[in-house]
Structures are given as structure tokens and as C-alpha cells.
Amino acid sequence: MSFLSPTRLLRETMRKRVLIGLTQAVVAAIVFAAGSFGIAWGQQVERYSDIPSDSVAIASIDFQELKGSAQFRMWPWEVLNVACQEQFGFALDDIETIDATLSMPSSEPEFGFSIRTSAPFDIADLSEQVATQIEVSPKDERLRFRDIYDFPMLRVAQKDPNRVLIGTQGTLRRMMSQRIRTGGKTVELVSSRQSDVRIAINLVQIRDLLLGLWMTQEQQVPEMFHGDIESVIELTDNLLVELEASDSNPIRVSFGTADRESTEKLEESLQRLRTQGLQFARESVESQLATEPWISDAMKQAASKYADRMQESFSDTSMWSIEDNRLELKTETSMMASYQTIGVMTGLLLPAVQSARQAARRMSSSNNMKQIMLAMHNFEAAYKKFPDRVIRGNDGSPLLSWRVSILPYIEQNELYQQFHMDEPWNSPHNIKLLERMPQTYANPQVEVAPGYTVYLAPVGKNAGWLDKNMRLPAITDGTSNTIALTEVAPHLAVPWTAPDDLDIDENSGTSWMTDRGANVGMFDGSVRWISAELAEQILRALMTVNGGEVIPLLP
């Protein structure tokens, strides 16, 4: 098997995370703006004349109605207006409407905003600290551009005195092009409603993308939900979220389908997901609570009673209604609905906060061990062997740990270069580097002395980590059946640079684990959780590389 170099792997991972993060940020920005500012959609088609018809999502903000809304009367409009004037060079009072478009994502997210002002505005008045110098289009002198310093992917464009466009370059070109089609079903959907807030998402545009994402995540979801989740994706053509601040039923969510039959099928799938999901959530929480010794019996009983009351409340089926090819979900008839939701989540999660914290820390430790095992394999790919467990001097004396050898493969080459490899870990020079232990070697679950780590290799008779010249063919028991790395209890932590590891002959059975168990790294690069209740003979068999034992399936 081949492995990416640590540098390339990090670069590819960061690139994907940036693209995913930017896409999520754009969607979140539209949703937040809509929910916070109170969107009002105009009825005139020309308002959307620069919004492409194939937009994945559309949102609008009407500041005039926003500022006059009783729900927002306590907002510091005066302060915000002066802040915008001083920091950016425009007055918030001059903004009349903002229309946003989100396009089909490609290699980078594509989005844009069309801002209309009540009075003429010149982008030349934008602060020089915000945008670059004016550029004039060679094809049209009326069309001018400025780049935004803090967001180089964005540009500001202006052709009309009462309209400013901001967006990524691809979307900006499409918004200004006379050849693109405007309007379309998504615009028709939002312009046909009168609610204060509307967010329309065209799921037809991204259905294949959603199905692809679902295929990558379906193994993380119980199989009982698979069919209904796929039906929701395949049957829903569009999603419309409406908020009406002055109405007794403030929040409405509706799903658009191709026809009445599809709507009825969608209702059946959503209803099953709701009822089964509530039951599954309750059983999962109660099961988790039952296994956590730090949660009192009184708290467990209180959580169970609250779950009874919550499930009874949410079993009401009157919240669904069908009108032609739309399925509408009605929320509670009060602006307190969001607070009720917060209450439900608090009641469910509060007893399990400590459990969630422990699980998160365990996951963080697992990720550390995965990085270490990846570094081991990259080292093996480069040198055709794993690093020697102990770096020895010419006389055979132990000097440094394998944890020092793999530093270049966890993006710590500069630190690696600082070591004197012919000196012991506690020499006057090397001991100064103890305090520079990489975070990869720090387990967030435990507290140990600075510079100490609980990530050790098992050593002993035929144990997983041989002293030197360790090669993959030597692991005749199978790489997925042999432990290469363990996390140990805090009292067994060692200086990370020292050539010390876990002696399984001196620490028999599971005595080296915490009370519940430990994460272990297998020679195939995977990381697993092993319970402290595992039989000693099975654990011993997992520690050896060539014992020939039969390993039963582990839970």
C-alpha cells in the first residue's frame, strides 16, 4: 500500500476542509442573516433581475421593514450605522435591500449579493482600508471594480448608482451578464409568498451531490433510517423556510415535490423518521446514562421522566399538512417555539454532558494515535522498515525513543533537527527539548507531568514492537490483529523522548489501562477501543506479532 507524505496529506486535508468550511459558512451566513434580520421579499420581478435562475439558494433582506419591526426595536441601529460609516465608508441607513444568491458549488463556493440603496452610492467612497483602488472595465467605462483586502476571493462591482454587487468572481460575472436567465422557479417560489422571512433552496440542483454525501455517511446512521432518508432526498424538489414575526404561527417549513402522490410518500417517510428518531434518541440516551458511574441515580430517573414527557408532546401528528404538491410542517403557535426547542435539548443533554466530554476527549486521543500510526507507516514506506523502538549509541546504550524518530512525519522536522542523536534523552542539550513535546503526544483525557506522554509501544516476549529492523512481513499474526501502540494509565506515563515503553511482562493483563479501557493502535494503522474487561489471554495474543493464536471477534 502507498501513503501520502505528511506534508502532502496535511495540504490535501486542509484544502478540503477550507472548501467545505467556506461552503458551510456561505449557507450559514444566508440563514443567519435571514433569521436575524427578518427577510421581506418584494413582489416585483425586477428586484431579482441579477439573480441567476439556476441559483441553489436565494435570500433577501428588507432593511426598511426590519428597522420598523417591533421585534428589533431594541437593536442599536444608531451605533451600527456609525460603526459602518467609520469602518467601511457607508451608512447602514442607506441600505434598502440585499438579495443573495448561492450557486452550485464547484472547486470553490460561488455566491453573491446585490445591494440596493435608497440614495446614490459610489464604491469609491468605501474605506481604503477595506478595498483596493478602483478598476474600470475596458469594455464599459460605467462598470467599476474593487477587491476586498481581507477576502481576496470577493470583488465589489458597480454600474448603477443605486446598486452594488459583491461576490466571488464567477458569480459576479454571471450576475452582470445579460446572457444569463433570471427569475426561475426558485425566485417564483419566494416571490409568491408574503412572509417576513423566506429562504428557498433548490434541491433538484444538488440532489446528486446530496445522494453522494449520503453514501459516504450512511454507515454512521442506523440502518432502520436508510430507506426513509433516501426517499426524502429523492422526493424533495425544494425547501422553503418562512418566518412571520407578527404571526401566531411564526415558523413554517415546507417541502415541495413533483406531485400529490410524491408529497404523500414524503409525509410517510418524514413521519417514520420523526417517530423512530425520537425513540432511538431516547433509548440511546438512557443506555448511555446507565453506563456512566458519575451520573447519580436521581439524575437518571429525572432524565427518564423528562424523556417520557417530551416524547408524548412530540408524538402529535397534527403538525403536518398537505396542500397540492407541498408538505408543510407547522411549528408551535408562539415565538417561544425556539425556546421550547432549547429546553428539550437541554433536558436531554444535561445529564450526559460529562459523558459527551469524555467521548470527545477519547476521540481526540484516538485521532492522535491515528496520526502516530500514519507516521509509522510513512516511515516504513520510506525506509522499508519501522523505526527502531530505541535509538542506540555506538556502544549499544539506549539514547532516545522512537517518538523522536517519527517527528518529521508529524510535521515536526524542525524539532527533529534540534536533537543530538548521539546523546541520551536527558543530556544537558536534549533535556531542554522535553518541554517542546508535540500536541500529538498529549492525551487530553489525562493529566501528567509536562513533557510526559501516555502513548507507549508494548514490549516484552514476542511483543508487538520489536527492538529494531521491524518489518511488515514479521507480523505473521496479521497487522489488523496485532497491537503496535497503546495509551496507558497516567501513573505509567514516561518522558516522551526517553526510550521507555510498556513492558507487558511487568504489567500483566489490563493493569496498565484506565478503569474503563484504552485506545490501541493496530499495525494496519487503525485505532480501536479495548475494554478493561477483555480476557487477559486475548489481550496477550493481540500483543504478540507471531504467536499464531486464534483471535475471536471483538465487540
Tell me what pLDDT residue 39 has.
34
Beta carbons within 10 angstroms of residue 261's beta carbon: 11
368 exposure class (CB count in 10 Å sphere: 0-12, 13-18, 19+): buried
**pLDDT, position 239:** 92
For 378-412, the DSSP string reads HHHHHHSSPPPSEEE-TTS-EEEEHHHHTGGGGT-
DSSP 549: P
Secondary structure (3-state) at 257: coil
Looking at residue 12, what is its pLDDT? 47
Q: Do the beta carbons of residue 57 and residue 241 sit within 8 Å?
A: no
* Bridge-based pairing state of the strands 494-495 and 144-147: unpaired
- Tens of pLDDT along 171-215? 888 888 766 676 678 888 887 887 777 889 999 988 988 898 888
Rounded to an integer, what distance in angstroms lies between the CA atom of residue 288 and that of residue 273? 21
- Amino acid residing at 200: A
Sheet architecture: strand order including 197-202: 135-136, 144-147, 154-158, 163-168, 111-117, 95-102, 57-62, 197-202, 238-243, 251-256, 326-330, 320-323
Q: Which three cell numbers stand for residue 523?
A: 499495525
Report pLDDT for 15: 46
Q: HSE (CB half, 13 Å, CA atoms) of 426?
A: 6
Residue whose C-alpha is closest to residue 455's, from 555, 371, 387, 533: 371
d(CA 505, CA 458): 10
Helix (H) or strand (E) holding 147: strand 144-147
* DSSP one-letter string for 494-513: EETTSS--EETTTS-TTTTS
pLDDT per residue of the chain (555 residues) written in tens, 0 to 9: 344 444 444 444 444 444 444 444 444 443 333 333 333 333 333 778 888 888 899 988 877 777 777 777 788 888 888 888 887 777 888 888 888 899 886 667 889 999 988 888 888 888 887 888 899 888 888 889 999 887 878 899 998 888 999 999 888 888 887 666 766 788 888 878 877 778 899 999 889 888 988 888 888 888 889 999 999 999 999 999 887 765 555 678 889 999 999 999 998 898 888 888 878 877 777 776 676 666 677 877 887 777 777 767 666 666 678 887 898 876 554 434 444 555 555 555 555 554 555 556 667 788 888 889 899 889 988 888 888 888 989 888 999 999 999 999 988 999 999 999 999 999 999 999 999 999 889 888 788 899 999 999 888 777 767 666 778 777 777 788 888 888 888 889 999 999 998 888 887 777 888 777 888 888 888 888 888 778 778 888 787 777 666 565 555
Give the C-alpha separation, 2 to 365, whole Å. Answer: 25
Kindly state the greatest CA–CA separation across the chain: 87
pLDDT value at residue 551: 62
CA gap 34, 52 in Å, rounded: 19
Check: CB of residue 530 under 8 Å from CB of residue 521.
no
DSSP state at residue 131: B
Distant-in-sequence, close-in-space partners of 423: CB < 8 Å, separation ≥ 6? 399, 429, 430
CA distance linking residue 456 with residue 463, whole number of Å: 12
Residue 41 to residues 48, 195, 252, Cα–Cα distance (Å): 10, 8, 16
pTM for the full predicted model: 0.50
> Which pLDDT does position 43 carry in this prediction?
36
Domain spans in the chain, listed from the N-terminal domain onward:
1-203, 221-335, 360-543
